[in-house]
Chain A
Amino acid sequence: MKKLTNKLLDWLNAEDQSVFDDAMELKMQEPKEEKEETVQQRMRDRLHIKDEVYSEGESKEVKVLRIIYRILAIILCGFIAYNLLIAVSWLPRTGEFDKPVNNEVSARYIEKGLQETGAVNIVTGMILDYRAFDTFGESNVLNIATITVLILLRRNKKKLPNEIEEKENDRLLEPKNDVILQKAATFLVPAIFLFGIYVILNGHLSPGGGFSGGAIIGAGLILYVSAFGFEKTEKFFTEKTQKVISLSALLFYCLAKSYSFFTGANELESHIPLGKAGAILSSGLILPLNICVGLVVAVTMYTFYCMFRKGEF
């Protein structure tokens, strides 16, 4: 009697599978297969419902308005192009010396630039000495863009720790240990880093500077990540690294240039030597400022890549 009740309880709790074993065949359900015709019929029905019942599709008026909009847009663009071309045809001839663009400002930069800033590259001397606050603003624009992209695209780890989120995580899907890419990266990444550092350090002597060198280093970091995966970069580049590098570089830039402008405006003696023109360690503050800008740009490029790729570092 006791055995029978136990068996009944098991059956009720669906623990005893042996009851079913002989009674029916356990079989996985086959995926539902649809014929081509039924699929097409379904799509037609859906379109029909969309058009006729809910009138979500485009009515005749909308189509006409759309055509009118396109014609008006093309006419507007043609009108703007015509006006701009008339303006261009009255501008002074390209490549001539006597035009209002070549005024005393550029003459001063060219004639006195080397003595006043110590930079052989006149453009670098201009953007990092005469107009250094402009470049400071640019670095801040980059930093603010990084912060905004972080706000918009960062994955919220606390909010959604479930498995679906884990499946969407790019890290599991990305190809691992691609031999060709890894071998190429072993040769290329150090060379790219060296070239970027060269461009930054020679910013006051040759074409280049913080912006281009920083972009080159950022490209090298991105190649490294693509080849070796995020596990390796996580060891030396996290969110904290980004914060520390950007903020300290911007802070140093701000303080150094404020000192330079303060002494210059009050005709005090500046304690920053300009050095011998043409040497690496010359031209006063331009070399450290170039390094700061390069760091900010490299960090920004890499952060953009990480955020767009998977939403975290």
Chain B
Amino acid sequence: MGPNLWANFGEAVSMILFCIGFANLLLHKNLIKKIIGLNIMDSSIYLFLALKGYINGHTVPIVVDGVQSVDAYINPIPSGLVLTGIVVSVSVTALMLSLTIRLYRRYQTLDLDEISKRLKKEGL
């Protein structure tokens, strides 16, 4: 273990959240719960990016009173990346949910094992 684990406890929390989401993805059979797991992973990444851009004692990157010094504002780039991530996450979630609805209409179940069993029986 390195020296900065306690100082970086926010990043550590985000990594643990990431693994919780990943375990959700692996352990649950229900498709909706898998999508929830993927969304937890997304949120953990936003937390990580926001913490990477933060600087102690600095304020939000909106110019006030004409002050334009690096010592006054936090890093604006990770904020933009979080915005990108949120948009992509919304699109991917909507796509996955609509695919799930189609699967449910075809097989009348959300259980992934059941669906793959039926697929095998149909010879696809």
Q: Which residues of A are interface residues toward B (Cβ below 8 A)?
A: 70, 73-74, 76-78, 80-81, 84-97, 101-102, 105-107, 109-114, 120-123, 126-127, 131, 134, 138, 141-142, 144-145, 148-149, 152-153, 206-207, 211, 277, 304, 307-308
Contact = CB atoms under 8 A, between A and B. Distances in A.
Interface residues of B, number: 55
Contacts of B18: 84
Contacts of B23: 73-74, 77
7 contacts: A88-B15, A89-B5, A93-B8, A96-B55, A101-B75, A113-B63, A121-B63
Interface of B: 1-5, 7-8, 10-12, 15-16, 18-19, 22-23, 26-27, 51-56, 60-63, 68-73, 75-80, 83-84, 86-88, 90-92, 94-95, 97-99, 101-102
B55 A88 contact: no
B76 A109 contact: yes
B68 to A, nearest CB: 5
Given A85-B15, A94-B54, A141 B91 contact: yes
* Chain B contact residues: helix, strand, loop or mixed: helix
A105 B3 contact: no
A152 B51 contact: no
Contacts of B95: 145, 148-149
A121 B4 contact: no
B77 A105 contact: yes
Given A106-B75, A126-B76, A152 B98 contact: yes
A174 B103 CA distance: 25
Contacts, number: 160
A70 B70 contact: no
Nearest to B20: A77
Nearest to A90: B2
Contact of B62 (A77, A102, A121, A307): A121
B19 A84 contact: yes
A110 B68 contact: yes
A121 B61 CA distance: 6
B19 A80 contact: yes
Given A80-B22, A138-B88, 13 more contacts: A77-B23, A85-B12, A88-B12, A94-B10, A110-B69, A110-B76, A114-B63, A122-B73, A126-B77, A142-B91, A145-B90, A145-B92, A307-B98
B4 A120 contact: no
A249 to B, nearest CB: 15
B91 A91 contact: no
Contacts of A145: 90-92, 94-95
Chain A contact surface mostly: helix
A145 B96 CA distance: 10
A181 to B, nearest CB: 25
A153 B53 contact: no
Contacts of B55: 95-97, 102
B62 A149 contact: no
Given A92-B4, A206-B62, A149 B94 contact: yes
Nearest to A215: B90
Contact of B80 (A73, A123, A206): A123
Contacts of A85: 1, 5, 12, 15-16
Nearest to A82: B19
B11 A106 contact: no
Nearest to B57: A95
B98 A153 contact: yes
A164 B99 CA distance: 23
Nearest to B19: A81
A266 B18 CA distance: 45
Contacts of A304: 94
A96 B74 CA distance: 11
A300 to B, nearest CB: 8
B44 to A, nearest CB: 10
